[in-house]
Amino acid sequence: MKQELTPTHTLQLIDKILAQHCVKLLSLNPKKKIITSFTELGNLITEQNIDIKIITTLQETLECIVCTQLQNFPENIFWDFDFLVSSMLRQALVAEEGAVDFLKIFGEKMFYLMEMFGINTAIRFRYVHDFMYGFDWARWVQKDPKNRAKIEPFSLVFFDYLLNKGKELIQRISHGQITCYKLCDTGYRNPFSFSREPEDEYRLLTYLAQKELIPVAVWNWNASPVWNKPFQEMRQQIALELDIQPQKH
């Protein structure tokens, strides 16, 4: 008898990987503390009639993304993946016959992004929050809303922009041309004036989530990304209101 591999079974492997690394799987969802498990995300996928090859590739791609994130951002705090998974799946299905190829390219670009911006290069960012929760994307759209407003936060187009930005940033760092993004006394780079130590990052982002000031509610499978709010300004302002101290260099 042929045994079918369901998304629930395949995505369970990712839950096991996270458990092995003893990650505290915090969510930014104001209504709950812990993320949606990958097993639960697998259940959402099974509600749709999807080819097993697409499901297997999706699982392999997600496993690669999660493992790369663990290696390059070991101190990351918030781990929501719901909307990223639904976005991957939706874009893959739009690609029709090219679904598997799309997922492979998606995974490769995510791998390079994590490698480029994480602790193992000169950039040395501590968290993936600005990428995963859409702050980088919203800032990018605001620079050219006419042409970018309909581009998804987890689109290959936006990934390519970030990859180019990362290359430029590494080049500027190597030539000593950095005025912001200075290394903090903790050894990480912080482009903001306020502290992003774990307790400060947690306090600020959970407050922003409660006030609906997170561009992409990644904890929501059906999230509607928002770019047209002054996210950066509000983030700075609320950091002051919460009395989060200036970053030490």
CA dihedral 159, 162, 166, 169 (to 10 degrees): 170
Q: How confident is the model at residue 174 (pLDDT cuts 50, 70, 90)?
A: confident
136 vs 175 pLDDT, higher one: 136
Q: What is the pLDDT of residues 76-116, one digit of tens each?
A: 999 999 999 999 999 999 998 999 999 999 999 999 999 99
pTM above 0.85, yes or no: yes
Residue 158, pLDDT > 70, answer yes
| Per-residue pLDDT at 8 | 54
Of the candidates 135, 162, 153, 154, the residue with the CA atom closest to the CA atom of residue 229: 135
H-type alpha helices, the chain: 7-20, 38-46, 52-72, 82-94, 99-117, 129-132, 135-143, 145-148, 156-174, 198-210, 231-241
Domain range annotation of the chain:
7-241
Q: What is the pLDDT of residues 128-141, one digit of tens each?
A: 999 999 999 999 99
**What is the residue-averaged pLDDT of the chain?**
91
| Residues whose CB falls within 8 Å of the CB of residue 25, separated by 6 or more in sequence, listed in order | 18, 34, 35, 79
Neighbours of 213 (CB within 10 A): 17
The pair of three-digit structure tokens given for residue 21, joined into one six-digit string: 């690394």
Q: Are 83 and 215 in contact (CB under 8 A)?
A: no
DSSP string of 168-180, one letter each residue? HHHHHHHTT--SS
Of 2-6, 30-34, 115-119, the one with minimum mean pLDDT is 2-6
Q: What is the pLDDT of residues 238-247, one digit of tens each?
A: 999 999 987 7
Q: Are 138 and 132 in contact (CB under 8 A)?
A: no
| Per-residue pLDDT at 3 | 42
Q: Are 69 and 130 in contact (CB under 8 A)?
A: no
Q: What percent of the chain has pLDDT over 90?
A: 79
| Per-residue pLDDT at 1 | 34
Q: How confident is the model at residue 179 (pLDDT cuts 50, 70, 90)?
A: low
In the three-class reduction of DSSP (H, G, I as helix; E, B as strand; rest coil), residue 210 is classed as: helix
Q: Which amino acid is at 212?
A: E
Span 7-19, average pLDDT = 83
Distance CA 110, CA 155 (A): 10
What does each C-alpha distance from 243 to 64, 182, 237 come to in angstroms? 38, 22, 10
Q: How confident is the model at residue 48 (pLDDT cuts 50, 70, 90)?
A: confident
Looking at residue 151, what DSSP letter applies? S
Residue 43, pLDDT > 60, answer yes
DSSP string of 110-130, one letter each residue? HHHHHHHHSTTSSS--S-SHH
Span 56-65, average pLDDT = 94
The pair of three-digit structure tokens given for residue 25, joined into one six-digit string: 């799987």
Distance CA 174, CA 145 (A): 32
| Per-residue pLDDT at 50 | 85
Span 204-217, average pLDDT = 97
